[in-house]
Amino acid sequence: MNIRLAKTAGFCFGVRRAVDTVIRLTEEGNGPVYTFGPIIHNETVVNDLAARGVVTLTGIEDLQSVTEGTVVIRSHGVPREIHEAMRKREEETGGKVRITDATCPFVKKIHGIVEKAGLEGRHVLICGDREHPEVKGITGWCTGPVSVIASLEEAKQIIDTLPKALCIVAQTTFDYKKFKSIIAFFSDFGYNSNDSVVNTICNATEERQTEARLLAGECDAMVVIGSENSSNTRKLYEICKAVCPSTFYVQSADYPDYKAFKSFRCIGITAGASTPSTIIEEVQNRMSEDNFEQMLEESFKTIHNGEVVEGTVIRVKEDEIALNIGYKADGILTKSEYSSQPVADLREVVKEGDKLSVKVVKVNDGDGQVLLSRRRLAQERSSQVLQDAFENKTVITAKVTDVVKGGLSVLVDECRVFIPASLVSDVFERDLTKYQGQEISFLITDYDPKKRSIIGNRKVLVAEQRKAALEAALSRIKVGDVVEGTVKNVTDFGAFIDIGGVDGLLHISEMSWGRIGNPKKHYKPGDTVRVFIKDINNDKIALSKRFDDENPWADAEKRFAPGTIVTGRVARMTDFGAFVEIAPGVDALLHVSQISRKRVEKPADVLKIGQEIEALILELRPEEKKISISMRALSEERGEAVPEDEAPAEEASVEEAPVAEETPADPE
């Protein structure tokens, strides 16, 4: 194994200066030493300083409790407001509390730049992490408007809101490559780099990032050492990861899984600006060839066929996964042994660092590798779950993976359960495709893994649910109740309405006071309807929309008295006449002999469906809900002339005009 250490790894000038300042103050012994916030972003360093008696202050409130000693401003710097409050505290205590500024000189320089820019009336734009203490400190020294962006995408979002007078600076540890892309973007909008842009990225940061990028491209794996809350270390990790997928974030020498590196021939090491050289050296020593091989040999375990082990994914290909299982050889998990479900590309479902429980199929496949199976382990575990469910009558919930001939195929982890069509529901369902991809609940009613026969039953659960819903519904409804429901299904004879967990039938004859020819033209599944309970017979509920207060025949004798002239719309026609809707729900018969004073063979010769006509009511039979009307009688009453060239209709008195005894079927 070849290990290459970056030349720029470890403490930068500003960090070393701040840490050395604190150590020097503790050694001088001139009273307690405090730091305003962690002196740097490295827990090991902060803990070492705490062991020397250094106390970390978290805010101005903590500062007020300090009565003597030295307070050190950390390397990231602080806003002007806090800086002035600290100096005020120094004056209040008569110098008993002393302030030592360990702000990095490069950061201090940025404070001066943004302060001046604000006084000149320029808008300050900071490229950096707005939550980072350095950026918060820089923002606190701005004397005018200020914005913070972390990426080119954010720059594009605010470009239209920025004035021409602009000053662009960067957090000292900002990604130099990102900064260049942002500056290039602003240049396209006329911001002159000489006047508007100041590259405030620390030279050491730029060198460290450039070296890390180059090193990552030359090595099989990269190790980035530093605290997880260190901004510059995170940026190094992102830079290396983009070039070398096998990049590891190591916070200390106690990294838990050095075995993950054993398969790499060349490993590069870099470290953040706040990482002490002692940690870098310790990590490097532990990864050295002799020490590393010794650790590996000591950590190797013995494994056997059929054993269940946990492994960490170290490589993923389209059709193969390599796992570190703590054995001297890697474990190999093929696509077919990963899952019984089709997986196009294993890289879409697994990533490096994932933990997987697997079963050892073969300790040595002939090439020194261990063959593993996740599928077989999952099948064994799910088979046990299904057996327990069968014995204890436990309800299982799983997703329908396939609609097959004769039923549904459901996958419980890696075990398939077949639910015959006859056991899917308590009613016959011709089309089962609606269950594809849906989660359903069922019982296991037949379990024989040797014959690969595991049968599920959803019907019994549906029946129980429907019975419970019916009992609940029947306990809260009674005949005459007005309810709102949702249309579930429409047939030629009516519609089934869900009125709260139970279905009622709205028969075609109860849909309206008028005639309904085809229910499917008036209702569709999902419609909300207002109905009342007409009848309850055991589990059958009859519904109606024929509300008494909407009965058009209630005052028919007054509205449709013989001799009344009415206007109506031709609703349908037969050979013997036309039915005219003279009011919602009220149809009257216009006999063929009453259409005109001239002879009419059939109504369709002179009338059209939907045509509006005027007629005279001849006869009303309210008890039979029948009305006879005449256009001919109205014409005669008005004295309208009949053209001489037209033959008159057969003479028929008004009294003889027939009233339909039977309404023919609606042609809709």
| Spatial separation of the C-alpha atoms in residues 585 and 625, rounded to whole Å | 10
Q: Tell me the β-bridge partners of 197.
A: 168
Query: Do 199 and 106 touch, CB atoms closer than 8 A?
Result: no
N-term to C-term CA, the chain = 85
Q: Which pair of structure tokens corresponds to residue 427?
A: 């009613």
Burial 157-170 (b: 16+ CB within 10 A, else e): eeeeebeeebbbbb
Euclidean distance between CA atoms 413 and 415, whole angstroms: 6
Give the largest Cα separation in the chain, rounded.
134
For this structure, is 134 an active site residue? Answer: yes
Tokens for 105? 């000189």
- With both helix axes pointing from N to C terminus, report the angle between 231-243 and 203-218 in degrees, rounded to the nearest 10: 30
The distance from CA 626 to its chain's CA centroid, rounded to whole angstroms, is: 61
Question: CA-to-CA distance for 577 and 587, rounded, in angstroms?
Answer: 12
CA-nearest of 381, 386, 384, 334 to 361 is 334
The C-alpha torsion from 639 through 640 and 642 to 644, rounded to 10°, is 90
> Is the CB of residue 588 less than 8 Å from the CB of residue 569?
no
Spatial separation of the C-alpha atoms in residues 368 and 382, rounded to whole Å? 31
In DSSP terms, 399 is beta-bridged to 411, 439
Single out the residue of 35, 83, 91 nearest to residue 58, CA to CA: 35
Burial of 485 (0-12, 13-18, 19+ CB in 10 A): buried
CA-CA distance, 500 to 292, in Å (whole number)? 69
Per DSSP, the three-state class of 552 is: coil
Instruction: Compute the distance between CA of residue 584 and CA of residue 158 in angstroms, rounded to an integer.
Output: 62
Which is catalytic among the residues 134, 337, 510, 619? 134
The residue with tokens 């302030």 is 99
Please identify every residue annotated as catalytic.
134
